[in-house]
Amino acid sequence: MANLHFHYGVMGSSKSAILIIAAHNFRQNKNHVEIIKPAFDNRFAQSEVVSRAGNLSVPAVAINNLDDYNIAKNTDVLLVDEVQFFSPKDIDKLVEIADIQGKLVMCYGLMVDSNQSIFPASQRLVEVGAKLHRLESNCQIDGCMHLATHHLRFDANGNVIRKGEQFALGDSNYKSVCRQHFNQMYYQKTCH
């Protein structure tokens, strides 16, 4: 059985809710679970993983990187929220935790940013052979029922932002969209 997993999807695909449910289920089966998240992600709470899908949260340890992180010996499962905000070097530490220490490591996060670039940590998860689990959601453009695969970021005036910082927090200025709407709005291409 694979012991390094990457559950990825667009914003709004319930990644954090699924992490919270996984933590609950593992604990129900008497497994010891640790949950970490990047300290950079302080949108909802510094020491919790919070889901926008409802009133769901779970305590977590917020860390800047995994340089000095040591998983407890009795931990069976490590859950990592917002993994895209960690570094490729941190992913290598997760590989060590999975392969050398024999822990189950389950990561949750975004694959690509709003400029169609793969986050470095997400790319590293693919490179090291993490088992990939795509979480699906629909396009957030009214009336569209296509699969959301991309993110669009907007400024305060509703204009699409095409350049800038890859590590930007907040979901009120983002929309998860299908490829067709992304191309139409980002590249201003006409789609059928």
Q: Which residue type is seen at 112?
A: V
d(CA 124, CA 118): 10
Does 131 have pLDDT greater than 90?
yes
Alpha helix locations (H) across the chain? 15-28, 88-99, 120-127, 179-186
Beta-carbon neighbour count of residue 140 at 10 Å?
A: 18
Residue 125 near residue 92, CB atoms below 8 Å? no
Instruction: Quick: pLDDT tens for 134-148.
Output: 999 999 999 999 999
Q: Is the pLDDT of residue 1 over 70?
A: no
CA distance 22 to 77: 10
Render pLDDT for 56-95 as a digit per residue (tens, 0 to 9): 888 899 999 999 999 999 999 999 999 999 999 999 999 9
Question: At residue 98, what is the residue type?
Answer: A
Angle at 24 between CA 20 and CA 26, to 5 degrees: 115
Domains, in order of start, for the chain: 4-135 (3.40.50.300)
How confident is the model over 93-107, as a mean pLDDT? 97
This prediction has a pTM of: 0.89
Q: How confident is the model at residue 35, as a pLDDT?
A: 96
